[in-house]
Amino acid sequence: MDQPYEQSKLQQAKERWEAERLDPALAKVSRPRMPSDVKQQRLYTPLDGDGRDYENDLGFPGQYPYTRGVQPSMYQGRLWTMRQYAGFGTPEETHERFEYLLNQGQGGLLVAYDLPTQLGFDSDDDRAKGEVGVVGVAVDSLADMETIFSGLPLEKASPSLTMNAAANVALAMYVAVAEKEGVPAERISGTTQNDILKEFIARGTQVFPPRDSLRLTVDVIEYCTANLPRWNAINICGYHVREAGSTLVQEVAFALANAITYIEACLERGMDVDAFAPRLAFNFSASANIFQEAAKFRATRRMWARLLQDRFGAKQAASLMFRTGAGSAGSTLTAQQPENNIVRVALQALSGILGGVQSFHSASFDEALAIPTEHSALVALRTQQVLAHESGAAEVIDPLGGSYYVEALTDQIEAEVNLYIAQIEADGGMLQAIEDGRAQAQIAEASFAQQQQIDAGEKVMVGVNQFQDDSDPKIELHRPNPEIVAAQIAKLQQLRRERDNGAVQAALVRLEDEARGDGNLMYPILEAVRAYATIGEICGVERKVFGEYQAASI
């Protein structure tokens, strides 16, 4: 197909087919095309790969530009890590759920914190009322983290700590737990989400102003680079951008633009790109649109390799590897006919697997209604296990590679994302876009447009705007224990009475001094955590120094 004559013959043949076959068929019966984030043709042929250089644009798995996977063997070597996003109520309840899931074959832990913890408030703070232990586990101090991970195989569990504004405190707590368990720093593995920029544009649990927040993020990256060689210091999230209503292209563009901002901040700190880039990780959404999602992961791997090599001069192969987890697109799960979500989650997991992700979080079918029950969490885990061992999806490396459709989509997504990033940078970069409110506005516009499509019935949501069923499904839901708040507060107050409050105050004073300077705050925070200072006390010092973020009016 690289000969102009053959291409010309195929083009002519395609045009004849369209005129003689396709157009008449569509004139008789033609269903409306579903709205799509990426413009698509009705048919793809070798013409859509014209000019592609196999080695430079695709290559082999484990080889630059990593389009076909970051490891030579991919799932032939080992399967992706299967995670469940879990955490609720008290540390004791969350410990029990983690223990259960690990015993059922889960490969890694994904810790969900409640909103007060994410925002750096203690459970007895007035601003925490009504939210303690609701959407995640309440963690006030090192004592709570010790309870969560007590007796769990820390060297194998590889937890992902889903914290951003207070990511430094969460990491310090886990490091202190590992110390007490006797796990050497060089063997501690896991991930801190620590992606504060996407909080400003998509999720909303930011606390401090953007530039101070960026300093704290880089502190974590710098600390991990120096002390925790197996820890992923940041998990840059397209996931929450997509969950906020962005398009697929915006998801990738904003995530990579955020990553560029983090890299530049680390370089300004004097760090070597090859020292920290191998431990930068990502987390993306996976919808049920299998082919677009698989192409998205393939395109992003290629963009990341080129970005690190060509723009930032990375030399090590590990620096060029786009290592990503993915999760079920929770916003697509419905409260109506919730059993349909089992099918949606299976398709979402398959799209991530075919896209070559390193880990996957499968949502539970009841998550549109409540925190998952033990049963629904098990169904979600079993869904991944069936895909891994019964579907055949893991038996071939990059099974969609070579598809005219998927390869064309991969190229198209790369081109559109690069244009979007170029516009972000022409307008002053991500920090400026956040401070001006432009990034937030663009996601809001995309979300509104998508909702209009659903409301108009242009985008079909089974059970919501078509194929409705008014029957009331009998599904057992998780019910929060109303007594947990009093119990958590009682433990917190007892901790304050029994700890060495002199050591706590000394650590907090040191933290404030360092915060007013330019030192890395991970070190004084770790000292404060070891003294059992609470998250509210630590973040309170940071609030005193940095102030709180005030959103720009859009």
523 found inside a domain: no
pLDDT tens readout for residues 143-185:
999 999 999 998 778 899 999 999 999 999 999 999 999 999 9
Cβ-based burial of 279 (10 A; exposed 0-12, middle 13-18, buried ≥19): buried
468 found inside a domain: no
- Show the beta-strand stretches assigned E in 329-466: 359-361
Dist CA 94 CA 86 (whole Å)? 7
491 found inside a domain: no
285 found inside a domain: yes
461 found inside a domain: no
79 contacts 394 by C-beta, under 8 angstroms:
yes
pLDDT tens readout for residues 462-485:
999 999 988 877 888 888 788 889
135 found inside a domain: yes
Write the DSSP string, 179-235.
Answer: HHHT--GGG--EEE---HHHIIIII----S-HHHHHHHHHHHHHHHHHH-TTEE-EE
Q: 234-237 and 231-232 as β-strands: parallel, antiparallel, unpaired?
A: unpaired
Q: What is the CATH number of the domain that holds 102?
A: 3.20.20.240
Three-state SS at 486: helix
380 found inside a domain: yes
Query: Nearest Cα to 356, choosing from 396, 392, 384, 385?
Result: 396
pLDDT in tens, the chain (554 residues): 456 668 889 999 999 999 999 999 988 887 788 888 898 999 999 999 878 899 999 999 999 999 999 999 999 999 999 988 888 999 999 999 999 999 999 888 889 999 999 999 999 999 999 999 999 999 999 999 999 999 999 877 889 999 999 999 999 999 999 999 999 999 999 999 999 999 999 999 999 999 999 999 999 999 999 999 999 999 999 999 999 999 999 999 999 999 999 999 999 999 999 999 999 999 999 999 999 999 999 999 999 999 999 999 999 999 999 999 999 999 999 999 999 999 999 999 999 999 999 999 999 999 999 989 999 999 999 999 999 999 999 999 999 999 999 999 999 999 999 999 999 999 999 999 999 999 999 999 999 999 999 999 999 999 999 999 888 778 888 887 888 899 999 999 999 999 999 999 999 999 999 999 999 999 999 999 999 999 999 999 999 999 999 876 65
109 found inside a domain: yes
**Euclidean distance between the first and the last CA atom of the chain, given in angstroms as a whole number:** 51
Other beta carbons within 10 angstroms of residue 316's beta carbon come to 13
Q: Which residue has the tokens 């820890």?
A: 231
Report phi then psi at 510, rounded to 5: -65, -40
Three-state SS at 236: strand
Element housing 86 (H / E) = strand 81-86
3-state helix, strand and coil shares in percent for the chain, rounded to the nearest 5: 55, 5, 35
Range of the domain at 93: 64-455
Q: Which residue has the tokens 């232990």?
A: 133
What is the number of domains present in the chain? 1
